[in-house]
Amino acid sequence: MSTYRVAVFTGEKTIEFKELELKKPLGTQALVKIDSCALCTLEQRVYNGVMRYYPFAGGHEFAGTVCEIGDKVVHLKPGDHVTARILTNCGSCYYCRNGHENQCVISFQASLHEGINGPGGLSEYILIDESLLYKMANDINLSYAALTEPLACCVHSISQGNIELGDDVAVIGVGIMGAFHIKLAKLRGARVIAIELDPERLEIAKEMGADVLVDAGKCNSVEKVIELTEGRGANVVFCTVANPQSAAEAIAMAGKLGRVVLYSSFHPKLPIELDVNHVHYSEMIITGSVNPKIKDFYVASKLLSTGIVNPARLISEEVPFENIDYALQRAIDPETYRVIVKI
Ligand SMILES: [Zn+2]
Ligand SMILES: [Zn+2]
């Protein structure tokens, strides 16, 4: 019997390697040898003890190579590079049946890795249904391919913003998600105003294509955006930081007929002060964005495979599987972008 290793979070800041039996793919399954797995906030929160779901087989942003396929697999063959939409949907609830699978009633429930709670991408192998796999270019760097899921989340958010050519788009926060928003808004033909406190992150914003950089530590960002838009306010604002005060600013800097997308969730979820007449008179739309749809995931896989989006600058460090503890310590450091575990 051959075996493989999977990393399991068994308690706060405790990770153990478990040895599991390597099984053959059946029917529509493929066996994927995982190459890279990025550490998202979900893994960081479980590691930190903020979310206590132990035991937890973490890792939902991964990419690898198909090594064996079941007899009913149609679109994949051994050797193909793939990533997976592993945080999936039920397919049968009200939202799934109405074309809003990202709002699925179970979408936040982690899947199972061979009976262990969690998506299980921090593993040498994974057995997974073809329908959840997305083929990537054969020459893609698999660390980049592992970023399909976070990019897909941003693709969904960008479509919520309905950007038109020439729009003034403000992006609050230049973490990895803000950086992807900047790139995608540029691809949609916007003039992008990046707002961020950290000057080093403003440099990243520039590299991702931002037209105007606003150092939020040095000025009032709401006033600055209004000034930059001849007094009108932005057409679209994306808030990518978890601070409710930034949500209030996002709404305040949007102009008439503006669209505000609250991309990030908020911690703590404190109430904000809202100028209700600003909303009334401007006819603005305030919305959120949560989870990618199937199409968003496909679009993200294509943007990365073709090199239209290059995430090289958003990878802070690549760490071997053996040093997974160190990788998580690096990932929870707010200074880092994505840390990738190389399996
Ligand atoms: Zn993620
Ligand atoms: Zn559903």
User: Are residue 143 and residue 9 in the same domain, yes or no?
Assistant: yes
Backbone angles phi, psi at 320, to 5 degrees: -65, 150
Tell me the ligand closest to 176's alpha carbon.
1
User: Ligand 2: distance of its center to the CA of 93 in Å?
Assistant: 4
User: Ligand 1: distance of its center to the CA of 151 in Å?
Assistant: 9
User: Ligand 2: distance of its center to the CA of 197 in Å?
Assistant: 38
Is residue 283 one of the residues assigned to a domain?
Answer: yes
Query: What domain range is 25 assigned to?
Result: 3-147+311-342
Is residue 56 one of the residues assigned to a domain?
Answer: yes
- Predicted TM-score (pTM) of this structure: 0.96
Q: Which residues surround ligand 1, an ion (CB under 5 A)?
A: 40, 61, 149
User: Are residue 117 and residue 164 in the same domain, yes or no?
Assistant: no
Is residue 126 one of the residues assigned to a domain?
Answer: yes
For the chain, the domain total comes to 2
Q: Are 18 and 9 in contact (CB under 8 A)?
A: no
> What is the DSSP annotation of 279-343?
HHHHT-EEEE--S--HHHHHHHHHHHHTTSS--GGGEEEEEEGGGHHHHHHHHHSTT-SEEEEE-
CATH number of the domain within which 166 lies: 3.40.50.720
Is residue 324 one of the residues assigned to a domain?
Answer: yes
Tell me the ligand closest to 103's alpha carbon.
2
User: Ligand 2: distance of its center to the CA of 265 in Å?
Assistant: 21
Buried b / exposed e along 50-62 (16+ C-beta atoms within 10 A): eeeeeebbbbbbb
Is residue 27 one of the residues assigned to a domain?
Answer: yes
Largest CA distance in the chain: 69
Tell me the ligand closest to 42's alpha carbon.
1
User: Are residue 227 and residue 318 in the same domain, yes or no?
Assistant: no
User: Are residue 316 and residue 225 in the same domain, yes or no?
Assistant: no
pLDDT in tens, the chain (343 residues): 799 999 999 999 999 999 999 999 999 999 999 999 999 988 999 999 988 889 999 999 999 999 999 999 999 999 999 999 998 899 999 999 999 999 999 876 657 888 899 999 999 999 999 999 999 999 999 999 999 999 999 999 999 999 999 999 999 999 999 999 999 999 999 999 999 999 999 999 999 999 999 999 999 999 999 999 999 999 999 999 999 999 999 999 999 999 999 999 998 899 999 999 999 999 999 999 999 999 999 999 999 999 999 999 999 999 999 999 999 999 999 899 999 999 9
Closest C-alpha to 294, from 110, 99, 119: 99
CATH number of the domain within which 122 lies: 3.90.180.10
DSSP helix/strand/coil, 176: helix
